Structure 1
Amino acid sequence: MGVIAMDKKQITLYYSSENSLGKQINAYVESSEMKHLTIDISKTNVTGTQWAELAEGLHKQISDLINTDHPDFKEAYGDTHADLDDDDWLKILNKNPKLLKYPIIVKGEECIELKSASDFKHHMEPDSAGIDKPYN
C-alpha cells in the first residue's frame, strides 16, 4: 500500500454515516481507547487510489466493496449483474457513499471489513487473557 497511512498504533475507519452499520461501528471506534482516525466517506472524498489500496488490502475487487443488493443500487442499475469497470464502481462509491457494503478498518498493514458491530470488538480488543487477537 502507498497513500494510506499505516500505523500499528492507530486504527483508521472508513465508513458511511448514511447507514446504520457505519454509525454503529463509528460509535465503537470513537468510544474505544485506541488512537484512531475516522473517515466518513459521506463527508470526505476518498480517492480512487485509496479505494484501490483498500480493495487490494482486503484481497477484493473495487466492485466487491459496493452493496449491489441495496435498493438504490438496484433502482439505478437493475437486478442483473452490472457490467461496469473500476472507474464506474469508483464513481458509484463517491456519488452514493451509503452503498459501501461494510465499514473498513485499517490497522498497520491489515485491512478488515466489519460486517457487524461485534466484529469491531472481536478484531480490535484484546481478549481477557491480555493476548491480542488476530486482525483477520
Structure 2
Amino acid sequence: MSEYTIYHNPRCKKSRETLKLLEDKGVNYDVVQYLKEVPTKDELKKILAKLNVKPFNLVRKEEKKYKEEYKNLDLNDEEWIEVMHQNPKLIQRPVVVKGNKAIIGRPPENVNELF
C-alpha cells in the first residue's frame, strides 16, 4: 500500500495538477477515480475525519446538481454523506490522504502540508 492516496477525477484540472505535484515529489501514491470507484459511506466518514471537516464542507456547491437539487435543503451530516455517496460528482476534488490526515487539493499547493 502506498503512503498517499489521491481521490482523483482525470477530467478536473486541479485534480490533474495535484496528481502532477505528487509525481514531482516522487512519493508513492494510489489513485482512486472516485467517480468510478465510489467511496462507501464509511470511507467518506473516514476521509471527513482525516480532513477534520463537516460533510457539507466536502460538497461541491458550484455543481449544477447541487444548485438544482440540494442548495436550499437543510440536511444533517448523515444525509450529506448519503448525498455524496449517491452523487460522487458532488465530492470536492481532489482529496489527498496520508495516514490519518487529508487535504483538499484546491489549490493543489494545499497538499504540500502533507509532505
Shorter-normalised TM range? 0.7 to 0.9
Structure 1 segments (4+ residues) deviating >4 Å:
none
Answer with 1 or 2: which has the greater Rg. 1
1:92 aligns with 2:83: yes
Name the structure 1 match of 2:95.
104
**Structure (1 or 2) with the greater helix fraction:** 2
Equivalent positions of 1:28-67 (< 5 A) are 28-30=21-23, 32-67=25-60
Partners of 1:22 and 1:102 within 8 A in 2? yes
- Aligned sequence identity (%): 20
Query: Structure 2: which 5+ runs fail to align?
Result: none
Name the structure 2 match of 1:23.
16
| Number of equivalences | 115
Partners of 1:104 and 1:111 within 8 A in 2? yes
- Normalised by the length of structure 1, the TM-score is 0.68
- Normalised by the length of structure 2, the TM-score is 0.78
RMSD: 2.5
The match for 1:83 among 70, 74, 88 is 74
